[in-house]
Structure 1
Amino acid sequence: MDRPASLWIMSAYRSESHASWARWLEREAMECNLNFRMFELPGRYFRWRIRGNPLSWLAEVQEALTTEVPDHILATSMVDISTLKGVHPSLAHVPVTLYFHENQFAYPVGEGQHSSIDPQMVQLYGALSANECWFNSSYNRDSFLQGMDALLRKMPDHVPDNIVERIADKCRIVPVPVDPLERRQGASSRPLILWNHRWEYDKRPDRFLELLDRLESDGVEFELALLGPRAQKVPKALLDIRSKHASRIIADGMVPRAEYEALLRSARVVISTADHEFQGLAMIEAVSAGASPVVPDALCYREQYPEQHRYPSGDMSAAAALVKQALDACEQVNQGEVDISDWTSDKTAPIWRAFLQDKAQPQSTAE
């Protein structure tokens, strides 16, 4: 006798990119009539969230297990899946696909944060216990494996051989689906510079401020669209930009979706000054709409954008290179279309749909 298959989707940190991924999966799962259950926790209190999610979900998972044991679990790498399976023995043999939006071996530590290997160990044990490890970019996978190897080499004793190789064998690159935006017709008529990232330390808004100051001192004409989520406490870099470049700002804050897309289509240049980026959904959206990318020659960007759109990062010449790259992009009305199709849902959605359709297949049970 056949019964409907069941998939649990577990996301322990609902930040912007994680939420976008979960919404897309939920929509697609409903379309293929998959029996699924979504578990999510808010994207705040990071260190508690990555270590405490089995406790936070304790009652919810116990209640869910009274009606079903899932046939498969799709969990983000923020989920402490090895502990979750230990706390709930019914889940011990359920296969898991662990999805890495990010990895804690390549995530920069912010000012005032304490360094701890706990988040790294959660992801290491999770990768060991998972059946598959999916990453949203090669950079994400490679930095995870390299970071894990470096950590294991520091351990004092009793470290098994071939841990990295065991995990590498079950890794796969599957980006988050990003629906491309309708591309504007023709070149942008004005030098509108776009920032559509989180206003947090790892995106380095202080570097963005320095860039704007340099462009102004060089007499460059430009406008600014300051988008992207920001914390309740306004970062100093944003306050300084508002003070120094008030006359240039045409948008500042989270705007309605239709207005957001219109601004992306209007932008001539979209800037990243990030120290951390594993896929860069905001950049992909902006470039799909026609904005010219200016990105560090590092992180996931090397996989995504041609060399002429990347500036050197991490050395003394980086600031000057960023200014030159941005200046060229502002002054060139038509830099040519950048092909970002490998990173949009045109290419990535079929992989995820095939995964969901496979998990929707009825399961046989003993009569």
Structure 2
Amino acid sequence: MSILIIEAFYGGSHKQLVDLLQEELEDCVLYTLPAKKWHWRARTSALYFSQNIPISEHYRLLFASSVLNLTELAALRPDLGKLKKILYFHENQLVYPVKKCQERDFQYGYNQILSCLVADVVVFNSVFNMESFLTSIGKFVKLIPDHRPKDLESIIRPKCQVVYFPIRFPDVSREHDKDPETFFKVLMHLKDLGLNFHVSVLGETFTDVPDVFSESKETLGSSVLHWGYLPSKDDYFQVLCMADVVVSTAKHEFFGVAMLEAVYCGCYPLCPKDLVYPEIFPAEYLYSTPEQLSKRLQNFCKRPDIIRKHLYKGEMAPFSWAALHGKFRSLLTTEPREDL
């Protein structure tokens, strides 16, 4: 097995990516930890993997998401430190939203910066993700009271590239950072106006679920078609194919797999004119305020035929595995190194 894949948070899009790579690429071996207690995975997974990944002379390349502290792993396991190391960013901790600024733990972002310095190649799933990370490094290190490191952006940037998250689209013939309050507030307003609609709220449930979810489910009552996590991907896509509109109210999004999957299944997307969305969706699918979102949904409720006849004007192909597999194969091509 020449490609060693490590995923410290094996769930959601992180799981989707490494499962796809292991299935589609030859000579891969995968080591994971369950997608629970993210903060502890970021703090301690390197030590766990250092003790649980067998020593092998066959490894030539290491691919890991940025949850892993790559610096610690390379120090604890010099044999792995010698490999070509590729770090993939699903999200970055320099601009990841927190409820209060003082809640931001400096160490998470600092670990990602260190991991970039150790990595040979740093890959981001969007230009927004890459630029928001790189351009925040200077401000971030100013939090250090004295003896600050210098020129980190200029050191890291040459290693960086963007390779969109590869989606294996189906054959059709998911916390406070997603801002559920705004989403449900808009739906309540539609209900107060007496407009007819149905809603499906899909996604994994983690430890802390905002109260607004349970309260809204009760208030929306018979308007709810589906609620919660659908373990079967086929069932999930079936629900998407039944829907007319897919809405994001996210305050944090570095890519947005679920939105693209829904659009592929025929949904009309409505996304904030912010974050990664302008990079992926044409302007007509973006809104600037909750009021704009509400007005558009009101119109759709009154005239559902408008969206049912609509043909999506954006591009889906660039985000497909079919289009991206060549880039990933090139990225994960292992060339023998003289020092191994």
Cα distance in structure 1, aligned partners of 2:172 and 2:310:
14
Match of 2:223 in 1: 248
Runs (4 or more) in structure 1 with deviation over 6 Å come to: none
Amino acid paired to 1:97:
I
Query: 1:64-114 CA distances to partner (integer Å, 9 max, x unpaired)?
Result: 11x336211111111111111111222332221110011001211247993
Amino acid paired to 1:107:
Y
Which of 103, 120, 123 is the matching residue for 2:112?
123
* TM-score in terms of structure 1 length: 0.84
Question: How far apart are residue 48 of structure 1 and its match?
Answer: 1.6
Cα distance in structure 1, aligned partners of 2:16 and 2:330:
19
Q: Is residue 290 from structure 1 mapped to residue 261 from structure 2 by the alignment?
A: no
Correspondence 1:76-115 to 2 at 5 A: 76-110=65-99, 114-115=103-104
Flag the 1:279–1:364 CA change in 2: closer, same or farther, 3 A: closer
Which of 33, 38, 43 is the matching residue for 1:51?
43
Amino acid paired to 1:224:
V
Counterpart contact for 2:62–2:80, Cα < 8 Å = no
Question: How far apart are residue 364 of structure 1 and its match?
Answer: 8.0
Flag the 1:161–1:265 CA change in 2: closer, same or farther, 3 A: same
Correspondence 1:132-143 to 2 at 5 A: 132-143=121-132
Counterpart contact for 1:268–1:329, Cα < 8 Å = no
Count how many residue pairs are aligned between Structure 1 and Structure 2. Answer: 333
Correspondence 1:1-367 to 2 at 5 A: 6-29=2-25, 33-34=26-27, 36-61=28-53, 64-65=54-55, 67-68=56-57, 70-110=59-99, 114-182=103-171, 198=174, 200-231=175-206, 234-255=209-230, 256-312=232-288, 318-330=289-301, 331=303, 332-333=306-307, 334-338=309-313, 339-356=315-332, 358-359=333-334, 363=336
Counterpart contact for 1:182–1:288, Cα < 8 Å = no
Cα distance in structure 1, aligned partners of 2:193 and 2:326:
47
Flag the 1:52–1:232 CA change in 2: closer, same or farther, 3 A: closer
Counterpart contact for 1:329–1:335, Cα < 8 Å = no
Cα distance in structure 2, aligned partners of 1:119 and 1:18:
18
* TM-score in terms of structure 2 length: 0.91
Flag the 1:183–1:97 CA change in 2: closer, same or farther, 3 A: same
Q: CA RMSD in A?
A: 2.2
Query: 1:200-224 CA distances to partner (integer Å, 9 max, x unpaired)?
Result: 1111111111010111122322111
Question: How far apart are residue 335 of structure 1 and its match?
Answer: 3.0
Counterpart contact for 2:244–2:266, Cα < 8 Å = yes
Cα distance in structure 1, aligned partners of 2:196 and 2:76:
59
Counterpart contact for 1:292–1:329, Cα < 8 Å = no
Question: How far apart are residue 20 of structure 1 and its match?
Answer: 0.6
Percent of aligned positions that are identical: 29
Structure 1: tracts of 5 or more residues without a match: 185-197, 313-317
Q: Which moved more, 1:263-272 or 1:214-223?
A: 214-223
Structure 2: tracts of 5 or more residues without a match: none
Question: How far apart are residue 249 of structure 1 and its match?
Answer: 1.2
Query: 1:257-293 CA distances to partner (integer Å, 9 max, x unpaired)?
Result: 2221111112110010111111101001000111000
Flag the 1:174–1:336 CA change in 2: closer, same or farther, 3 A: same
